[in-house]
Homo-oligomer: A and B are copies of this chain.
């Protein structure tokens, strides 16, 4: 892995150009020295000198000879994805997933552990640290291999400080110094964000099918939340709580009281918990024999059971799903008019409820949004599966580590354990 270099006070302009070179190779926008030269405007001598520093630092590797369009063949450069490791953890209400990725965000190892977040930060982070230690040992990583730590939590986070900010389902976590604790433990910089933001970021940064820069990621699980990007960057909002659409008022019906204490909230009418509640009422009231059968077998119903019953042709289950889809679609139509996204991705367990559910969401969006807003709008299921949150956490760390200004921001205060310092 990369050797550690030491630097004097950074020359920000110089470091900027290192960061930019590294980022161009990392994202594969420019991989040969001539390409780097034409993309940055730096001369051949400067490019040779700076790529040599990055090669010596172990951040770049020489690749194969590129097919050339005339003249001398140019050797391509490769980002050294194994120069360091990123530790990630995605914390949910009832359990967490911890993992290790390389510097491109590929998950090398991960483990899911049942663990109630309501136990509070000390106990939960004890457990997270234990699992991360085990993963580090399994992967044969030394402490200085860890370049950064990314954590997702099911609640709002003040991103600048990494502290949860009045998270409703995380008692004891308000304002807790997650960054300080994990940073001291793993001697690496730590970033913390809301899990839906990380799911959004994962989809945004995963190479391949482009989702554009204006992406809405809608997670439909027990609750409903959104991750928002503008021009390829996450929009987190003034208090870091942007995307909380679950408690938007979508009905004047005051019969159902939401867990937030208000009535008419979207998630109280169309979230996973609402589907399960309504399905149990139908089953108990004798309106759906398929649902009643599953209820007898399992003792409770979930949104997945509703989807299964609907797919088996149960009329009442179909009704439940299409109603929920319409409610969600109506809210999304408003957001499409307001935000004009390029792509909407639907994630979370309930969004696996089948084509019927997706169709009723789509139909409502197209019916209620402005034609111009939906002309090129794509509405799809999220592409990343169970590891989406982990991958997003890794990308968050990579974004911050390799931001053009990163070297400048970090060097004065000391850089992460294994991260090379550069001298120009």
Contact = CB atoms under 8 A, between A and B. Distances in A.
Nearest to A233: B231
Given A40-B13, A41-B408, A233-B231, A370 B242 contact: no
A247 B333 CA distance: 10
A123 interface: no
Given A341-B238, A368-B262, A372-B241, A248 B333 contact: yes
Contact of A235 (B14, B260, B339): B339
Contacts of A375: 239
Contacts of A15: 41
A40 B42 CA distance: 18
A239 B337 contact: no
B41 A245 contact: no
Contact of A370 (B12, B247, B331, B373): B247
**Do most interface residues of chain A lie in helix, strand or loop, or is the interface mixed?**
loop
Nearest to A335: B338
Interface in A1-51: 10-15, 17, 40-43
A329 to B, nearest CB: 11
Contacts of A235: 214, 230-231, 235, 339
A327 to B, nearest CB: 12
A121 interface: no
A241 B373 contact: yes
A288 B331 CA distance: 37
B370 A249 contact: no
A12 to B, nearest CB: 3
A240 interface: yes
Nearest to A215: B238
Contacts of A42: 11-13
A185 to B, nearest CB: 28
Contacts of A370: 241, 244, 247, 260
A375 B174 CA distance: 15
Contact of A372 (B165, B248, B330, B337): B165
Contacts of A14: 41
A2 B331 CA distance: 53
A-B residue pairs, 9 tightest by C-beta: A237-B340, A12-B41, A238-B342, A242-B340, A248-B334, A230-B230, A230-B235, A214-B238, A244-B337
A407 to B, nearest CB: 11
Contact of A249 (B240, B241, B334, B341): B334
